[in-house]
Amino acid sequence: MVRVVRATPIELATAVQALRDGELVAFPTETVYGLGAHAGYPAALRRIFELKGRPTTHPLIVHIDSLRYLTRWAREVPEAAQKLAERFWPGPLTLVLPRAENVHRLVTGGQDTVAVRVPAHPMAQQLLTAFGGGIAAPSANRYGRISPTRAEHVREEFGADVRLVLDGGECKLGLESTIVACLNGNVQLLRPGAVTLSQLERVVGGEVLTQSTAPTVRVPGSAGAHYAPTTPLSVIPSEELEALVASLTEGGLRVAVLAQHPPLGTYRLTTWINAGQRAETYAHDLYAHLRTLDKAGCARILVQQVPADERWDAAYDRLQRAAAASAAELAADDGSLAAVVPG
């Protein structure tokens, strides 16, 4: 069971003062841990980009504690956005809306839109309420790498570079929020998450566009290559996985495997994780499993392709981007491993 923790008064006061002083604070949400800065403090926002190694054109999500403060950040809240916020906030939904005039361009990646959400984690709610403003927070990891779902992941990633990490236990969901744009009369799904396409359509009472059916704005996590371990990762069709593992290990290559079942054979030089066949559990554990496999000392990570079902869409999205990142890194290298396993 996920351990949900609240901040002590001293921890909370320290975190609030740090944010007001322009420092960064890592904190838990129900999705992943965020690296937070005062959303109205440009120097603190720049520190996020510097520390993560994140391009300044890549927008941040503003976290607020209540729907009633949305109009401080968005100059327009369409009816569809209002319905979605009332249904899914607090929760794992980010809305992209026309930005209010006061929103700094570092938050928006230079665009005329802003991404906002109300997280459900009790510690995040405590922090936001005590702070009394918006906290801009991407995931608390180096840009393009695996998002953190535990406080220890943040410490492993940044060490002393982030002085304050609020430990709220393991994140309940484990994958980033669903992102939906409500712009120009359309509702568009920009990043899949725990809130599915069919759930969105039921609430808005009509079609929700996908990235393939309309132009998109830049949003967090939308880069084609993202969420990647340092070990090259490939997504392998289910029917090909075992034969590929056998072939590679017989050739002397150490491989790590993330599958949805135990191995059918006995393979030497293999680290195998059976992540199971439940979509929610798989998503919750995905990043932790990838971190474990990344530390296994293997040459490649092979991930069994997940089912074609909207409950799996978020995991599918993250794995495809992780594989794309690995393929790009291999192409930039000498290519010696690129020919061994399809990217």
The pLDDT of residue 334 is 54
How would residue 163 be classed by pLDDT, with cut points 50, 70 and 90?
A: confident
**4 has pLDDT over 90:** no
Q: Which residue has the higher pLDDT, 215 or 294?
A: 294
Tokens 């289910």, residue located:
238
Compute, in degrees rounded to 10, the torsion defined by CA atoms 44, 46, 48, 53.
-160
How would residue 1 be classed by pLDDT, with cut points 50, 70 and 90?
A: very low
pLDDT digits (tens, 9 = 90+) for 291-333: 999 999 999 999 999 999 999 999 999 999 999 987 776 666 6
Alpha carbon of residue 322 to chain centroid: 12
β-strand 178-183 against 93-98: which pairing, if any? Answer: parallel
Distance (Å) of CA 310 to CA 62, 315, 334: 26, 10, 37
Domains along the sequence of the chain with CATH: 9-78+96-175 (3.90.870.10), 233-332 (3.40.50.11030)
How would residue 343 be classed by pLDDT, with cut points 50, 70 and 90?
A: very low
pLDDT digits (tens, 9 = 90+) for 225-273: 778 899 999 999 999 999 999 999 999 999 999 999 999 988 989 999 9
Sheet holding 300-304, edge to edge: 233-236, 300-304, 255-259, 270-274
